[in-house]
């Protein structure tokens, strides 16, 4: 019915120029006017059905464009100067309304306020005081590009009965709706399938399943999960098209965005769609909540922001959050500042989805100054994806673009490059964890790079080895890179209960276990002259930065049972290192 009503209104506007006198190219009888009205009604009905113009926007939204086009056609056929008033007047009204109701010059403060209350420079929190240290068990090592490549190989790899033999010929891997989600305390990419064509829609009973790719383990095989046939999807047709299904069930006057394919705690899939209202003319979308749609039955449940189930990870879309932050960066000090003075103006870098130590999902957005020549980060903003609440942290470091360039430059000779920055706390240092890919897009390892000092960079094909190497680099740098907020340096005297020597990319490494301390200690033997001679039962003195990590790299080591004389120069260097 909504399509018919839109078409009816558009058609009435479309035939209006026929009622003005002119040198018409067609007979001006009532019969021909009715004929054109019916023709316009059919055309606009089909266009409304295909395009589903949202009535959330003023003046019929996109539907007004159809009305202007049809009235222009009528004006041309009627050849009436007076009739041209209709399309011209409508166009002027629409453009005028759009300009005065939407343009930032009139609404800069409203745009800047969309993100909500943001900490100012007087009460801003230091990043390292609030962000939990890295949990090595849940690092997202698999970038989205690799997950997509793996998913495309998964359709038929576990087929045993032939039930999946034709899946790849009838359905596409829907890379536009890939969703990173924590399911049962595991980070997973959930990737739906969708119809390839109307033929596959007509000749199948529904989408047969979806694909899961482990986001933490690059070696894990992707899984094709066969479920009951799902009929409702973004690329489905007619009444089963997901957007049209929502549109015809009461959401024609809302803005629908961010179609996410998410799993509940029982691995049952749902489509989670964000519902918004424009609040500043044709812009300023405010998130109202989400609709949770069962892809099997089409059942729709609307949940307000504060009513969303725990298993739903995303309510606020990344695009909307990035727009909020961009507007805040541009217009916090007013529109005139954004075009003239440029005082304290900031711009966003790429937004990243990450999971905090509290288990919640956040968008992490680095901010830099609006000066294109500036290579420094000014702020790091964490936005809760369910509540939309943002927290601003003061940071000092390199922009994402330059971090990626540093990794790619170091590994270029191996034909490797970095993609996707994830920010984590390692030893109280803001650290960029960057997945490394080969030229063919295959996963080749991970790099850790200090955001403050991009020369502190460790890479290894094995993530745990890369983390250890990075910790060792931080330890070698000592107090030069340790912030006051996170410098928890400890020195202990203990007896070695167990040890092991292993060869790593950074040389011989001594692994030490002490019964009374729940950590493993890693000692780079090339740094400490007594380390290669240590044995079980020796008394050692070690200094390190205390963290909750299972393994800790030592930045000072002495075995009391090993007595080796150092030269005067060696003693001077050793004393200097210990004083850092």
Domains of the chain, by residue range, sit at 2-102, 134-315, 400-480, 489-579
SS (H, E, C) 229-272: EECCECCCCHHHEHHHHHHHHHHCCCEEEEEEEEECCCCCEEEE
- Confidence at 479, pLDDT banded by 50, 70, 90: very low
> Is it the case that residue 21 has pLDDT exceeding 60?
yes
Name the residue among 206, 266, 211, 212 with its Cα closest to residue 231. 206
Q: How far apart are CA 448 and CA 576, in angstroms?
A: 26
The owner of tokens 């919640």 is 360
Task: Give yes or no for a contact between 358 and 90, defined as CB atoms under 8 angstroms apart.
Answer: no
Q: How far apart are CA 4 and CA 10, in angstroms?
A: 10
385 contacts: CB under 8 Å, gap ≥ 6 = 313, 314, 315, 316, 321, 353, 360, 361, 362, 363
By DSSP bridging, strand 125-126 and strand 390-398 are: parallel
- Confidence at 263, pLDDT banded by 50, 70, 90: very high
> Is it the case that residue 90 has pLDDT exceeding 50?
yes
Question: How confident is the model at residue 295, as a pLDDT?
Answer: 94
- Strand locations in 79-135 (E): 125-126
User: pLDDT of 324-371, one tens digit each?
Assistant: 999 998 898 888 887 776 677 788 888 888 887 677 888 988 888 766
Q: What six digits make up the tokens of 11? A: 């058609």
Mean pLDDT of the chain: 84
Question: How confident is the model at residue 455, as a pLDDT?
Answer: 83
Least confident of 48-52, 161-165, 404-408: 161-165
> Is it the case that residue 269 has pLDDT exceeding 70?
yes
Q: How far apart are CA 29 and CA 359, in angstroms?
A: 70
Q: Tell me which range, 53-67, 136-150, 455-469, 545-559, is most confidently predicted by mean pLDDT.
A: 53-67
Name the residue among 252, 421, 265 with its Cα closest to residue 349. 421
Question: How confident is the model at residue 482, as a pLDDT?
Answer: 36
pTM confidence score: 0.79
- Confidence at 20, pLDDT banded by 50, 70, 90: confident
Least confident of 7-11, 406-410, 505-509: 505-509
Question: How confident is the model at residue 76, as a pLDDT?
Answer: 85
Task: Give yes or no for a contact between 475 and 487, defined as CB atoms under 8 angstroms apart.
Answer: no
Superfamily grouping for domain 489-579: Nucleic acid-binding proteins (2.40.50.140)
**Between residues 467 and 57, the one the model is more confident about:** 57
Residue 133, phi then psi, degrees to nearest 5: -60, 165
Average pLDDT over residues 489-502: 89
Task: Give yes or no for a contact between 39 and 262, defined as CB atoms under 8 angstroms apart.
Answer: no
Question: How confident is the model at residue 483, as a pLDDT?
Answer: 35
- Confidence at 127, pLDDT banded by 50, 70, 90: low
Q: What six digits make up the tokens of 213? A: 């790719």
- Confidence at 135, pLDDT banded by 50, 70, 90: low
Question: How confident is the model at residue 158, as a pLDDT?
Answer: 47
Q: How far apart are CA 145 and CA 150, in angstroms?
A: 9
Question: How confident is the model at residue 193, as a pLDDT?
Answer: 92
Q: How far apart are CA 209 and CA 224, in angstroms?
A: 7
By DSSP bridging, strand 551-553 and strand 520-524 are: parallel
User: pLDDT of 4-18, one tens digit each?
Assistant: 999 999 999 988 888
> Is it the case that residue 160 has pLDDT exceeding 60?
no
249 contacts: CB under 8 Å, gap ≥ 6 = 300
Q: How far apart are CA 465 and CA 502, in angstroms?
A: 11
- Confidence at 481, pLDDT banded by 50, 70, 90: very low
Report the share of the chain in percent with pLDDT over 90. 36
Considering only CA atoms, give the Rg of the chain. 31
In whole angstroms, how far apart are CA 390 and each of 288, 354, 485, 533?
17, 14, 22, 52
């Amino acid at each position: 019915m909504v399509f018919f009503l839109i078409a009816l209104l558009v058609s009435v506007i479309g035939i209006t120029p026929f009622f003005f006198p002119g040198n018409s190219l067609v007979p001006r009888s009532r019969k021909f006017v009715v004929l054109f009205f019916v023709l316009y009604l059919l055309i606009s009905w089909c266009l409304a059905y295909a395009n589903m113009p949202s009535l959330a926007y003023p003046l019929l939204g996109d539907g007004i464009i159809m009305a202007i086009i049809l009235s222009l056609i009528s004006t041309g056929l009627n050849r009436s100067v007076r009739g041209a008033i209709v399309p011209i007047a409508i166009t002027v009204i629409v453009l005028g309304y759009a300009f005065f109701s939407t343009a930032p010059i009139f609404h800069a403060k409203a745009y800047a306020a969309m993100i909500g209350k943001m900490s100012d420079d007087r009460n801003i929190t230091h990043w390292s005081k609030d962000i939990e240290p890295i949990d090595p068990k849940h690092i997202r090592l698999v970038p989205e590009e690799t997950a997509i490549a793996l998913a495309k190989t998964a359709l038929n790899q576990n087929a045993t009965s032939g039930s999946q033999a034709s899946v790849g010929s009838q359905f596409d891997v829907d890379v536009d709706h890939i969703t990173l989600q924590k399911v049962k305390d595991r980070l997973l990419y959930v990737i739906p399938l969708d119809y390839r064509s109307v033929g596959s829609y007509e000749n199948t009973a529904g989408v047969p399943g979806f694909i899961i790719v482990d986001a933490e383990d690059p070696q894990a095989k992707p899984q094709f999960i066969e479920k009951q046939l799902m009929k409702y999807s973004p690329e489905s047709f007619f009444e089963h098209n997901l957007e049209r299904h929502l549109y015809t069930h009461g959401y024609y006057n809302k803005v629908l965005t961010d179609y996410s394919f998410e799993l509940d705690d029982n691995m049952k899939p749902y489509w989670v769609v964000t519902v918004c209202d424009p609040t500043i003319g044709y812009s300023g979308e405010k998130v109202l909540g989400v609709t949770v749609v069962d892809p099997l039955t089409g059942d729709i449940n609307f949940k307000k922001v504060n009513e969303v189930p725990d298993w739903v990870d995303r309510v606020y879309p990344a695009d909307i959050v990035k727009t909020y932050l961009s507007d805040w960066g541009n217009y916090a000090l007013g529109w005139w500042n954004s075009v003239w003075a440029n005082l304290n103006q900031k711009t966003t870098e790429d937004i990243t989805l990450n999971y905090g130590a509290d288990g919640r999902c956040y968008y992490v957005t680095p901010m830099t100054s609006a000066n294109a020549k500036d290579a420094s980060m000014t702020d790091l903003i964490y936005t809760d994806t369910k509540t939309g609440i943002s927290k601003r942290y003061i940071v000092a470091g390199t922009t994402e673009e330059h971090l990626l360039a540093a990794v790619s430059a170091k590994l270029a000779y191996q034909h490797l490059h970095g993609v996707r920055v994830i920010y984590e706390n390692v030893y109280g240092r803001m650290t960029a964890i960057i997945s490394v890919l080969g030229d063919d897009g295959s996963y080749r390892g991970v790099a850790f790079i200090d955001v403050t000092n991009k020369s502190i960079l460790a890479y290894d094909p094995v993530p745990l080895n890369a983390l250890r190497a990075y910790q060792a680099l931080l330890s070698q740098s000592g107090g030069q890179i340790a912030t006051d907020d996170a410098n928890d340096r400890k020195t202990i005297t203990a007896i070695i209960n167990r040890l092991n020597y292993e060869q790593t990319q950074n040389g011989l490494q001594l692994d030490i276990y002490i019964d009374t301390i729940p950590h493993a200690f890693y000692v780079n033997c090339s740094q400490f002259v007594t380390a290669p001679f240590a044995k079980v039962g020796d008394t050692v003195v070690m200094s390190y930065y205390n963290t909750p990590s299972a393994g800790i790299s030592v930045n000072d080591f002495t075995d009391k049972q090993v007595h080796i004389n150092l030269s005067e120069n060696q003693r001077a260097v050793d004393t200097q290192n210990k004083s850092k």
